[in-house]
Amino acid sequence: MTVAIVTDSTACIPGEVAAALGIEIVPLHLIFGGRTFVDSLTSDTSEFYELLRTSNERPTTAAPSPGMFIDAIARAARRADAVLCITVSKQFSAMYDSARQAIEIAKGGSPATEIRLLDSRNAAMAQGFVVLEAARAAAAGASIDEVARRAEVMTEQVTLLAMLDTLSYLARGGRVPRVAAWTAGMLQVKPIVRFSASDIRLVARTRTRRRALDRMIALLVEMAAGRRLHLAVHHANAAADARYLLEGAERQIDLAETFLTEFTQVMGVHTGPGLVGLAWWAE
């Protein structure tokens, strides 16, 4: 049995990596400044983030239509006996529901293809690592049951840690009441938060970006606990800080693989420019 993987663009998987593993990426879209942006890691995001910093307009984002998922599933089904669709956490997006609707329709058009849906319960490269490990299992010849089981296990193994330049973007989405309470009255605070399936939890706070970056490296070393890590470093228009994090991790941690990627535009809308993040899982 051959298995193909479908996911959405919020997984932040580099295009060349997705192509090598045959992963179908369904992009989100957003409307901002009278323009439509396709969520992608391949486009220049500097103009987008400058617009985000300076505009009073709030971008609007939209989950892919069921039709976009149907097209991706159809492409995957043409080269596989089974398809596993893995979405961003349904706590953060309507993506899961859109994919579920698409699968119900796609099953009618491809009755011989087994199509399954999995909530990654994560976002960004924490979701991306769930997808990558599923795709690697599929490439190694695993059955759909084995691929789905590997992905399900990975949802509990990945961690996503991020430093936000400001809480204002998350606050607009109503996602930070607990974090906001912890930082109330603190000017210029740089919160470090941990994202999970059901919560965004504050784990540290500092007064400067450099202290926040050093604290993130220390937290990563502490959580690694001597284990070998698969690590992704994210940034939203903060490439120099992302390289600083990666170099710090490389000096202190045994790393099986590393990725240095931008947040896609849709992810950046919710977190704001200036974010840097770490996603990882331990062997």
Please report the pLDDT score of residue 199 as a whole number: 67
pLDDT digits (tens, 9 = 90+) for 240-272: 999 999 999 999 999 999 999 988 888 888 778
Of the residues 156, 187, 204, which one is the last residue of a structural domain? 156
- Is residue 83 assigned to a domain? yes
For residue 174, the one-letter residue type is G
Q: What integer is the mean pLDDT of 130-151?
A: 98
Q: What integer is the mean pLDDT of 66-79?
A: 93
- Number of domains composing the chain: 2
- Is residue 9 assigned to a domain? yes
Residues 262 and 218 sit within 8 Å (Cβ to Cβ): no
Q: Are residues 122 and 166 in the same domain?
A: no
- Is residue 50 assigned to a domain? no
pTM here?
0.91
Q: Please, which pLDDT band fits residue 176 given cuts at 50, 70 and 90?
A: low
The full 3-state SS of the chain, as one line of letters, equals CCEEEEEEHHHCCCHHHHHHCCCEEECCEEEECCEEEECCCCCCCHHHHHHHHHCCCCCEEECCCHHHHHHHHHHHHCCCCEEEEEECCCCCCCHHHHHHHHHHHHHHHCCCCEEEEEECCCCHHHHHHHHHHHHHHHHCCCCHHHHHHHHHHHHHHCEEEEECCCCHHHHHCCCCHHHHHHHCCCCCCEEEEEECCCCEEEEEEECCHHHHHHHHHHHHHHHHCCCCEEEEEEECCCHHHHHHHHHHHHHHCCEEEEEEEECCHHHHHHHCCCCEEEEEEEC
Q: What is the CATH number of the domain that holds 227?
A: 3.30.1180.10
Please report the pLDDT score of residue 16 as a whole number: 95
Please report the pLDDT score of residue 184 as a whole number: 42
pLDDT digits (tens, 9 = 90+) for 193-223: 898 665 678 888 888 999 999 999 999 999 9
Q: Are residues 129 and 229 in the same domain?
A: no
pLDDT reading at 185 higher than 50 = no
Lowest mean pLDDT segment, chosen from 167-181, 229-243, 260-274: 167-181
Q: Are residues 163 and 200 in the same domain?
A: yes
Q: Are residues 196 and 102 in the same domain?
A: no
Q: Are residues 197 and 117 in the same domain?
A: no
Q: Are residues 11 and 141 in the same domain?
A: yes
Q: Are residues 194 and 227 in the same domain?
A: yes
Q: Are residues 176 and 228 in the same domain?
A: yes
- Is residue 169 assigned to a domain? yes
Please report the pLDDT score of residue 3 as a whole number: 98
- Is residue 45 assigned to a domain? no
Domain ranges, residue 236: 159-282
Of the residues 100, 131, 156, which one is the last residue of a structural domain? 156
pLDDT reading at 228 higher than 90 = yes
pLDDT reading at 179 higher than 60 = no
Q: Are residues 144 and 19 in the same domain?
A: yes
Backbone angles phi, psi at 222, to 5 degrees: -65, -45
pLDDT digits (tens, 9 = 90+) for 82-130: 999 999 998 777 889 989 999 999 988 878 899 999 999 999 999 999 9
Of the residues 95, 122, 156, which one is the last residue of a structural domain? 156
Distance in angstroms (rounded) separating the CA atoms of residues 38 and 45: 11
Average pLDDT taken over every residue of the chain = 88
Q: Are residues 173 and 269 in the same domain?
A: yes
Q: Are residues 238 and 268 in the same domain?
A: yes
Assigned token pair, 208: 């400067």
Please report the pLDDT score of residue 193 as a whole number: 87
